[in-house]
Amino acid sequence: MSSKAAIQVNAVRKTFSDKKHGSRTAVDGVSFEVFPGEIFGLLGPNGAGKTTTLRVLATLLKPTSGTAILNGFDIVNQPSEVRGSIGFLSGDMGLYGRLTPREVLRFFADLNRLPDASKRVEDILKRFAIMDFAGSKIDKLSTGMKQKVAIARAMLCDPPILILDEPTSGLDVPAARAIESAILDARKRGKCIVFSTHVMEEAEYLCDRIAVINDGKIRIIGTMDHLREATGKHRLREIFVDLLGLGDTGN
Amino acid sequence: MRFDILKTIYLKEMLDQLRDRRALLSMVLVPLIAIPALMAGMGVVITIIEKKAEDQSKTLGIGLKINSPEIRQAIEKAGLKIVDKPNLKEAVEKKELAAAVEETAGAAGVPEILYYVDRSNPTSETAGDSLRTILTELKDSKVRQRLREQNIPETILTPFSFKRVNVAPERKMAGAMWGTMLGYVLLLLMFTGGIYPAIDMTAGEKERKTLELYLSSPAHRSEIVLGKILAAMTAIFLTAMLTLASIVFSIRNGGLAGKNPQMQQMLKTIPLDGHALLLIVLTLLPLALLAASIMIAIAILARSFKEGQTYLTPLALLVIFPALIGGMPGLEFTPPMAMIPIFNASQVIRSTLLGDLSSTNFLITTFANLVYAGIAFYFASRRFEDETVLFRT
């Protein structure tokens, strides 16, 4: 793991306000760092602020206050450069159903101005074993096939940072395993990975460090050993329940 | 603005649209098949209705309550069947008779002939026309006979003659008629043709959850908006061009005139030459850009495809009014009017077909629509910067 953080999040706060619901703080002064070659997990219940935090990092949302530096670029002042440094993936996959995997990958390669785009696309199609269905429309593919395309798209430009928002959400075990393998492989290649999940086993299995987030605030941050030490609990599920004050579940 | 990125976005949007059956339906099928079929069908339907009315007016029969045997003879001579009914007016109302003739005592002992028709019924209307002709001819022949009996020359009835001379050339008459129709159909189809692609590229992307990844790419928001607007503009312009081609084809082949030779002759005089078509195309280009920009700016506000349709359908209906007002008789197309969006384009099309388009009005129209398109583009870009709009759920 490199000593210089690839992601530095400094007191990021995000408040939404509208006439109907008034003002609501989704992320409340979140700070953390993620290093190259590290998998960092954001763990929290629904509505805890995970997606908002990741959307802020991906420059889809502007922080109300605070900022973050990704790959040396400021999310507020250099959003375009930040977007050129990240691969972003959400559980919805966000693939164009009427296009083929090859066309989708080529589109994003061109948007990123990748040199030798055709070769890069063909290489990634082979690497993720997509060649057999590279010319079929995405609408016709199975969920597992689509997820392969989605992760290939996120890694297409070989970005130093991967931001993955519940990437295994709604997937069956084999499809989720494929994503987990891709994440572990990316770590081996020195990528900085931040991903959100509410699946405890997945976080425990994949993450080098975990931040538990609730009501927009980070409750604890550290390695599994650190979390165990701080809470006196052994399993991540127990730690999570304890931190959120959900009471004894008996597990 | 980076043109390679813009080109990438534009080509992807076009590919996505061309793979969509619903978009193709509104872009290609409606102008190429529905419009010519509708126009050709209109002529055929009118001919059939007229023929049916004529046949029925003869078979259904005419009721008579008259003293004059000459009228009965004239009606029979014209091939109309005479049927007895006690209440003539009621029988016509109930469609038991095509029409009826009744003689009453008129003023100063002159008999008055009433003929009953139901003007909401084409059969009765046709029978009534026949009766009017029969009665007029009979009346004229009686007048001539009485004059002859009195040794008075028939010319006494005609102290002078008169004739209307229409100074408008046939071409101009055709231009006025079809210029209004062409502007109306083109504008309406352009706006309805743009609805689907505009919604699909904005609210549709939100619904399919593809917008988030698009926005997380290094493409600038303005590049994404412009790429989408240009793709929507292409769809709208394609709809307009196919509609224009359909109408020109129908006009050239007499499809709009049915079997009416006068109408066929008039249609051939419509000045749809290369110059006129070029002017129409040059007018429609900025209008397509304006329509696309407005539609994208509005459609991005919607959360779903359905909501997008709710927002954009009234816009397409709104277009009908300026296009219709443009066809009002006596309306003069002045330079200030050329600044009214949509209306100005319908007027340029009409003036082009009339052959009296001024270059000032054409330039003002083109420039004004480009400026309005620029303003709409600015608003659309602002919407794409607004995270409350992009991430509304």
pLDDT, tens digit, for every residue of A169-188?
777 777 788 788 888 988 99
**pLDDT over 90 percentage in chain B:** 21
Give the confidence band of B96 by pLDDT, cuts at 50, 70, 90.
Answer: confident
Contact A99, B213 (CB under 8 A): no
Q: Does the pLDDT of residue A239 top 90, yes or no?
A: no
Q: What is the CATH number of domain B51-157?
A: 3.40.190
Alpha carbon distance B241, B193 (integer Å): 11
pTM as predicted: 0.79
Q: Which residue in A16, A83, A89 is closest to B217 by CB distance?
A: A83
What is the chain A residue with the closest CA to B16? Answer: A98
What would the pLDDT profile of A56-93 be if each residue is shown by its tens digit? 999 989 999 999 999 999 999 999 889 989 999 887 77
Q: How many helices (H) and strands (E) does chain A have?
A: 9, 10
Q: Which residue among B4, B209, B218 places its CB closest to the CB of A83?
A: B218
Mean pLDDT of all residues belonging to chain A: 87
Using a CB-CB cut-off of 8 Å, the residues of chain B touching A153 are: 213
Query: Residue A93: what pLDDT?
Result: 79
What are B340-362's pLDDT values in tens digits? 888 898 889 888 888 788 899 99
CA dist B120 and B123 (Å) reads: 9
Tell whether B215 lies on the interface with A, counting CB pairs under 8 A. Answer: yes
pLDDT surpassing 80 at residue B178? no
Does any CB of chain A come closer than 8 Å to the CB of residue B209?
Answer: yes
For chain B, give the mean pLDDT. 84
Phi/psi-derived region of residue B188, left when phi > 0, alpha when psi is between -120 and 50, beta in every other case: alpha
Determine contact: B287 vs chain A, CB below 8 A: no
Tell whether B220 is within 8 A of chain A (Cβ).
Answer: yes
State the pLDDT at residue B293: 93
Enumerate the CATH 3.40.190 domain ranges in chain B, comma separated: 51-157
CB contact under 8 A, A88 and B388: no
Highest mean pLDDT out of A27-36, B61-70, B104-113, B151-160: A27-36
The predicted structure's pLDDT at residue A251: 41
Pairing label, strands A7-18, A65-70: antiparallel
Position B264 pLDDT exceeds 70? no
Nearest residue of A to residue B201, measured between CA atoms: A96
Is the Cβ of B59 closer than 8 Å to some Cβ of chain A? no
Q: Both tokens of residue A179?
A: 């994503």
Compare B234 and B257 and report the one with higher pLDDT: B234
Tell me, yes or no, if B150 comes closer than 8 A to chain A by beta carbon: no
Residue B291, min C-alpha distance to chain A (Å):
25
Read off the pLDDT band of A227 (50, 70, 90): confident
pLDDT of residue B259: 57
The partner residue sitting opposite B212, judged by closest CB among A94, A113, A137, is A94
- Does any CB of chain B come closer than 8 Å to the CB of residue A14? no
- Nearest residue of A to residue B217 by CA position? A83
Unique residue bearing structure tokens 């690839």 = A6
Interchain pair A92, B15: CB under 8 A: no
Judge whether residue A250 has pLDDT over 60.
no
Structure tokens at B202: 């904005």
Name the closest residue on chain B to residue A90, using Cα atoms.
Answer: B213
Averaged over B90-103, what is the pLDDT? Answer: 88
Does any CB of chain A come closer than 8 Å to the CB of residue B21? no
Q: Which range among A87-96, B262-271, B372-381 shows the weakest confidence by mean pLDDT?
A: B262-271
pLDDT of residue B23: 80
In chain A, the domains with their CATH numbers are: 1-85+161-251 (3.40.50.300), 95-158 (no CATH)
d(CA B391, CA B301): 10
